[in-house]
A and B are shown apart, each in its own frame.
Chain A
């Protein structure tokens, strides 16, 4: 009987997944994200366009046959450009968000677990970096170096890791006094084992939730930089640079140059936020208990 009862109890991962699946808004976010990924990466197979060469005979055409979302000021098909630009935004945003989360998580865990002077020194570095406005730093760096995908990823990640570092450090401080960590130390376990086998797995919920927000923020950073003219050199495009280029034509009513990239940015950022919030609720034990009571 006892064995049967234990088998019937779902594991934490399954419980988390079930809670996430029960959150309609989080599911909507995930579906929107999947749809956008499919649009950007599979869309060009259905709607192939030339996004390399300009066509000055087809500029600024309004949406219509052949060009469902019209054309740009250089004759690029707008629908194809949206797919092409979305790849850059998503690739850079995802990579920068993940990189920032990984580095910030390890940094924060190490600082929180070891404490003392190491924690003080590492956190002062974080505080100092947080004191510099991120956008200012991004603009300065992007002006000095020629933007490319790897450069954008590194530059954005270099300012985005601070938030997960502080968050995970707090988790590590709370976890380091737990009995199982004392036991591990008594059995001869080192700092590395404590951080990577005990602290990080126990902070995974916080990290995953934060990662989704980091990715959303990184996508916005890409848009900011591109909007300020610090995007990848042409013919590469991303949603921010498309929005920036379209703003020029606001005065002459070329709405199709502005709304599609603007809407795409809003959708992808909102989708990540919904997923992040859904994950947070799913990982939150107290909410889970409240739901059952």
Chain B
């Protein structure tokens, strides 16, 4: 019987075809592609109109439109979209190396502090209207305040003692001016940056025409906010005061925005449409980018060395550095892992096992930098717990841990010196599970490198990867008795940075007791005192003291902080300002052409 005898040809043919297809696919994986524009990063004549498709981060699905965020819906892309629809009173603006709060995009004039910094008077800018033609007034701001005041436990931005607790009285003095009476004197810079940045006007005439109470109204609005398949069609979300309106919002997370024709701010959009496109992984985004499917995307750090190929195709490469820190969250309320994680020597040992410099250099290809503490590195004195596996082993051995079958076990239980610590029983294995976000090769490799180092020291780490929204929805602050609390021990959601600082990088929202983004439920009186000092005092050392102490106490495990993304932008798309606080301003984007005629891609 010959090779092609009988029915043999079919499977053999399929195999040969598969080999050829695979080979051709691999050959086709070169940096080839179509030239998207012959224009360079400068020059050309601006034109109005066009559509820009921007890639969302890997595994990111926008799922919240209501400007009052609920726990589990705090992803940066959600708030970036909300700010385009509902204008905050104050927005951060990068000026040189500093961040200021006097962005011209904000809805209000700069706040005026009086009465020894216990009263703040705010005036809304003239001429702003809702998309249904009604003017934006102080009653719209009061509506927001009433909603959060009466439903603060449901607001993800709530932190006890802060907004709205720190406002004793909200006084309307006119259609455009209101006054906040505060419960004490505050550091004006901190209050504007970290408290007033949450304030937003909401259309009371459209959202509460029946004058219902704030609790009932909030419950109704939250019901609408959870139906994200209807974000584009629900009349509730049609009344906006920002430069954009929602045209489409699919359940897969693709969002299409069109200009708000009634917008009268200083930054009216130039484009016809902006499409925010979701991707499950960075690699899938990269493939679409190479095929010319997105105008504003990003490349994985692994291909940064070949960025020149993209320049030849008509793109510019622009790393987007975030104002952020990155860390692994520790769940102190987990029934089994909590007693272990509360031991400071153990946290120090774990931190000593994370080789941030090597991970930044090798796995992130230099696009990440070690995180040293909860504030920018310039405010800190070096790294308190540098990579030192030997020191980690010594710490663990000195506290009653001994290795058996490759895993450390507690042999000296108890809360005294040289013992494992309170709540850790004899024979307890040093084993943790880590819930990490999926979609990024670099994150997966970082976690694998950490697992490997932990393993060498006798600490078992089981890694489970899930999409970002799942991780954000699971790693939320919880009480010890809640079933959800038993679902995660360590969590990581920092592929593009775990925490983006407010313009004043204090810690009232991440490390203060019961803070909304204190996912692991860290609670420490000394930390709380230092955080309060940053809120009340304008002494610059307060922030340094807080930063150094938290860096030393290790409420979380610091990991390399990656750039938000290495952006790849079409050369003919201009006006893109990559704000380190990750706000988007597509109203400033515009196309240029060689001859000033509308046309080309995106038109």
Judge: A and B partners, yes or no.
yes
Binding site for B on A (CB under 8 A): 22-25, 52-54, 56-57, 59, 73-74, 146, 229, 233-235, 245, 247-252, 258-259, 262, 266, 269-270, 273-274, 276-277, 280-281, 287, 291
Q: What residues on B are CB-neighbors of A287 within 8 Å? A: 6
Q: How far is the CB of A235 from chain B (nearest CB, A)?
A: 7
A265 to B250, CA, bound (A): 37
Q: Is the CB of A273 within 8 A of B306?
A: no
**Are A233 and B438 CB-contacts (below 8 A) given A247-B283, A266-B18?**
no
User: B306 touches which one: A53, A251, A266, A280 (CB < 8 A)?
Assistant: A251
CB nearest to A287 among chain B residues: B6
**Are A250 and B18 CB-contacts (below 8 A) given A52-B452, A287-B6?**
no
The winner among B1, B6, B306, B453 for most chain A CB atoms within 10 A is B1
User: B363 touches which one: A53, A56, A281 (CB < 8 A)?
Assistant: A56
User: A280 touches which one: B3, B7, B14, B281 (CB < 8 A)?
Assistant: B7
CB nearest to B467 among chain A residues: A143
Q: What residues on B are CB-neighbors of A249 within 8 Å? A: 302
Q: Is the CB of B7 within 8 A of A59?
A: no
User: B22 touches which one: A266, A274, A281 (CB < 8 A)?
Assistant: A266
Q: How far is the CB of B153 from chain A (nearest CB, A)?
A: 31
B222 contacts A by Cβ under 8 Å? no
Q: Is the CB of B15 within 8 A of A273?
A: yes
Q: Is the CB of A53 within 8 A of B455?
A: yes
The winner among A24, A54, A249, A276 for most chain B CB atoms within 10 A is A54
Q: List 7 A-B contacts (CB under 8 A).
A: A25-B12, A54-B448, A54-B449, A56-B362, A250-B26, A251-B303, A251-B309
**Are A270 and B15 CB-contacts (below 8 A) given A73-B445, A251-B302?**
yes
Q: Type the 1/0 row for B1-31, where 1 means its CB is closer than 8 Å to any CB of A.
A: 1010011100110110011001000100111
B451 contacts A by Cβ under 8 Å? yes
B300 contacts A by Cβ under 8 Å? yes
Q: What residues on B are CB-neighbors of A273 within 8 Å? A: 11-12, 14-15
Q: What residues on B are CB-neighbors of A23 within 8 Å? A: 1
Which 9 pairs show the lowest CB-CB distances between chains A and B? A273-B11, A250-B29, A54-B452, A251-B303, A234-B448, A270-B15, A53-B452, A56-B358, A56-B362
Q: Is the CB of A235 within 8 A of B451?
A: yes
**Are A262 and B8 CB-contacts (below 8 A) given A59-B362, A252-B303?**
no
Q: What residues on B are CB-neighbors of A276 within 8 Å? A: 11
Q: Is the CB of B452 within 8 A of A277?
A: no
Q: Is the CB of A233 within 8 A of B464?
A: yes
CB nearest to B29 among chain A residues: A250
Q: What residues on A are CB-neighbors of B29 within 8 Å? A: 247, 250-251
B177 contacts A by Cβ under 8 Å? no
User: B300 touches which one: A74, A248, A270 (CB < 8 A)?
Assistant: A248
Q: A54-B452, A251-B29, A266-B22 are in contact. List 20 more A-B contacts (CB 8 A).
A: A24-B3, A25-B3, A25-B12, A52-B455, A54-B449, A56-B355, A56-B358, A74-B452, A233-B464, A235-B451, A247-B29, A248-B300, A251-B30, A251-B31, A251-B309, A252-B303, A269-B15, A270-B11, A270-B12, A281-B8
Q: Is the CB of A248 within 8 A of B12?
A: no
Q: What residues on B are CB-neighbors of A52 within 8 Å? A: 452, 455
CB nearest to A28 among chain B residues: B3
Q: What residues on B are CB-neighbors of A24 within 8 Å? A: 3
B463 contacts A by Cβ under 8 Å? yes
Q: Is the CB of B302 within 8 A of A73?
A: yes
Q: How far is the CB of A142 from chain B (nearest CB, A)?
A: 11
CB nearest to A54 among chain B residues: B452
Q: Is the CB of B15 within 8 A of A266?
A: yes
B169 contacts A by Cβ under 8 Å? no
Q: How far is the CB of A254 from chain B (nearest CB, A)?
A: 9
Q: How far is the CB of B339 from chain A (nearest CB, A)?
A: 25
CB nearest to B470 among chain A residues: A143
**Are A234 and B463 CB-contacts (below 8 A) given A53-B452, A56-B358?**
yes
Q: How far is the CB of B115 from chain A (nearest CB, A)?
A: 56
Q: Is the CB of B456 within 8 A of A229?
A: no
Q: Is the CB of B438 within 8 A of A229?
A: yes
Q: What residues on B are CB-neighbors of A57 within 8 Å? A: 358
Q: How far is the CB of B196 from chain A (nearest CB, A)?
A: 41
A291 to B6, CA, bound (A): 12
Q: Is the CB of A56 within 8 A of B449?
A: yes
Q: What residues on A are CB-neighbors of B438 within 8 Å? A: 229
User: A235 touches which one: B1, B283, B448 (CB < 8 A)?
Assistant: B448
B56 contacts A by Cβ under 8 Å? no
CB proximity to A under 8 Å, residues B296-342 = 300, 302-303, 305-306, 309
Q: What residues on B are CB-neighbors of A251 within 8 Å? A: 29-31, 302-303, 306, 309
A229 to B463, CA, bound (A): 14
**Are A252 and B306 CB-contacts (below 8 A) given A74-B448, A281-B6?**
yes
A245 to B31, CA, bound (A): 18
Q: Is the CB of B445 within 8 A of A74?
A: yes
Q: Is the CB of B456 within 8 A of A53?
A: yes
CB nearest to B22 among chain A residues: A262
A22 to B3, CA, bound (A): 12
A274 to B13, CA, bound (A): 11
Q: What residues on B are CB-neighbors of A73 within 8 Å? A: 302, 363, 441, 445
Q: How far is the CB of A192 from chain B (nearest CB, A)?
A: 34
A111 to B526, CA, bound (A): 72
B543 contacts A by Cβ under 8 Å? no
Q: What residues on A are CB-neighbors of B462 within 8 Å? A: 233
User: A56 touches which one: B3, B22, B303, B359 (CB < 8 A)?
Assistant: B359
Q: Is the CB of A248 within 8 A of B302?
A: yes
Q: How far is the CB of A53 from chain B (nearest CB, A)?
A: 4
A287 to B18, CA, bound (A): 28
**Are A146 and B363 CB-contacts (below 8 A) given A54-B449, A56-B358?**
no
Q: How far is the CB of A269 from chain B (nearest CB, A)?
A: 7
Q: How far is the CB of B439 from chain A (nearest CB, A)?
A: 8
